[in-house]
Structure 1
Amino acid sequence: MRGNDQQAYDRGTSLFSPDGRIYQVEYAREAVSRGAPSVGIRTPEGVVLAALAQPSSELMEAESIEKLHKLDDHVGTTNAGHVADARNLIDYARRFAQGNQLRYGEPVGVEALTKHVTDYIQENTQMGGTRPFGAALLIGGIEDGNPRLFSADPSGTPHEWRATVIGADRSEIQSLLEDEWDEELTLEDGIELAVRALQVRSEELEAEHVNLVTVTPEEGYRQCPVEDVQDVLDRILEDDGEGDEEDGEGDEDEASDDTEE
């Protein structure tokens, strides 16, 4: 009987287990953790969204992998997890943003949009006959002239962030963001930090496998071309090379000191 009870909690999308867990939500989070990472960084100048879009086969067109999506002129999103689930949420967010514009004649707030989407996600953890969405979103944009960045996970919980990541290698990438993010980051610094974060997943990162957008008060949602991403990768490689040279010079100085002694 105990085994049958366990299966009931395991299969039920809206049942709490005796220790207060909803297993289907946890499984949905596991699906997110298996997806390619997506990074969001908030700076005083705007929001940076970046995602790894690496084809699973050499025969796949890299352009067909869509990881970044425009929800409105002033807000965008990126996702990790099941692509089909994410697209459903993205279409839902777009309809709400358009409806808000038609109904009230003003752009939807980033926080209001996020909470509307997370309410929709949460409903699927509470009703029979459905399952939780196996996808998470990062929603970033401009609200009243200020950059805002939110996450939405399969439980339907919204959180606001300065910088965060969803998808694979979350612990390592989040640690990097916590070490290198600060209040004085420029938009260019945020772009470079986002690319560095994706390098945790793939050290030999190629520009065409990085989807990157910025959302600023001046330009709104803007997708960065591959050439700009390549410039960032070249700059990172150059900076890392200079750091290695300085370390080498320090080792030589230590060796000469040892000789003199």
Structure 2
Amino acid sequence: MAFVPPQAGYDRAITVFSPDGRLFQVNYAREAVKRGATAVGVKWKDGVVLAVEKRITSKLIEPSSYEKIFLIDDHIAAAPSGIIADARVLVDRARLEAQIYRLTYGEPVPLTVLVKKICDLKQAHTQYGGVRPFGAALLMAGVNEKPELFETDPSGAYFEWKAVAIGSGRNTAMAIFEEHYRDDIGKDDAIKLAILALAKTLEEPTAEGIEVAYITMDEKRWKKLPREELEKYLNEILQEVKEEEVEEKQEDYSELDQNY
């Protein structure tokens, strides 16, 4: 008779809690997000920026065809991490809900309403048999009366942030936000901070491997950051990082000299 681990029953059943109160399949869905490409968002007084890692696995792939920031409505966009096929289902549902709201009420859907609807769907997939949790987290950002930035969890929980990251580089990016984010940050600094946080999570950051989009209160329409501007921001950031590394080395050597 094969050995069956004690937690096997709770492991296989989506709707059964383990004795310590966990839903293992939800935990596994979160692990899929932790292994996914990094996505970051930064909010400033008059807008929001999203930046996403594009993992291009073959030189034969056309980078321009590999989108990682999805437009939900003119004023709302989403950046996923985890299983992208799952994320696309959530994005399609969000687009449908946004259009239903617009046709029903004659105005754009508030981001908070849309986030709640998507998270209700995510939560339902942790509660019923015959389905599994979505192995994807979304950063959902946009403007209505003010700029807003939300993180949605595979469990159906959601949180509003000033700056946030999801994916494999979350810890590194969040440490950078903790150090550099300030409440009076402006547009250029917010875009630069988002690219910096994302670049720090990558071994060899390039413009082809990063996608950036932003929205402002004035225009209320998402725009992709042009390739030329992205390269300019990235070159400035990489140069600043190199200068910081040189300064740190000089400090290390000066401390070494004092020991002799």
After TM superposition, the score normalised by the length of structure 2 is 0.91
Q: Which amino acid aligns with 1:68?
A: I
Give the superposition deviation at 1:28.
0.3
1:39 aligns to what? 40
Matches within 5 A, 1:1-261: 3=4, 6-144=7-145, 146-219=146-219, 220-243=221-244
Give the superposition deviation at 1:8.
1.3
- Please give the secondary structure, in 2, of the residue aligned with 1:235: helix
Q: Which amino acid aligns with 1:51?
A: V
Aligned-residue CA RMSD in angstroms? 2.2
Q: Distance in 2 between matches of 1:244 and 1:55?
A: 28
- Please give the secondary structure, in 1, of the residue aligned with 2:97: helix
Q: 1:202-251: per-residue Cα shift (whole Å, max 9, x none)?
A: 14211121110001112221111111110101221333355456668878
Q: Which amino acid aligns with 2:163?
A: A
Q: Which amino acid aligns with 2:178?
A: E
Q: 1:62-100: per-residue Cα shift (whole Å, max 9, x none)?
A: 223221011111111100011110000000000001111
Q: Distance in 2 between matches of 1:18 and 1:83?
A: 32
Q: Distance in 2 between matches of 1:245 and 1:18?
A: 53
Q: Distance in 2 between matches of 1:251 and 1:171?
A: 26
Q: 1:18-47: per-residue Cα shift (whole Å, max 9, x none)?
A: 100000000000001111100011111210
Q: 1:174 to 1:105 in 2, by over 3 A?
A: same
Q: Which amino acid aligns with 1:77?
A: A
Give the superposition deviation at 1:61.
2.1
Q: Distance in 2 between matches of 1:2 and 1:103?
A: 56
Q: 1:131 to 1:250 in 2, by over 3 A?
A: closer
Q: 1:102 to 1:19 in 2, by over 3 A?
A: same
Give the superposition deviation at 1:200.
2.1
Give the superposition deviation at 1:169.
2.2
Give the superposition deviation at 1:156.
0.4
Give the superposition deviation at 1:201.
2.0
Identity %: 42
Moved over 4 A (4+): 241-252
Give the superposition deviation at 1:7.
1.4
Unaligned runs of 5+ in 1: none
- Please give the secondary structure, in 1, of the residue aligned with 2:133: coil
Q: Distance in 1 between matches of 2:209 and 2:5?
A: 46
Q: Which amino acid aligns with 2:190?
A: G
Q: 1:160-204: per-residue Cα shift (whole Å, max 9, x none)?
A: 011111110211211111111110111111111111111222142
Q: 1:244 to 1:5 in 2, by over 3 A?
A: closer
Unaligned runs of 5+ in 2: none
- Please give the secondary structure, in 2, of the residue aligned with 1:227: helix
Q: Distance in 1 between matches of 2:91 and 2:252?
A: 52
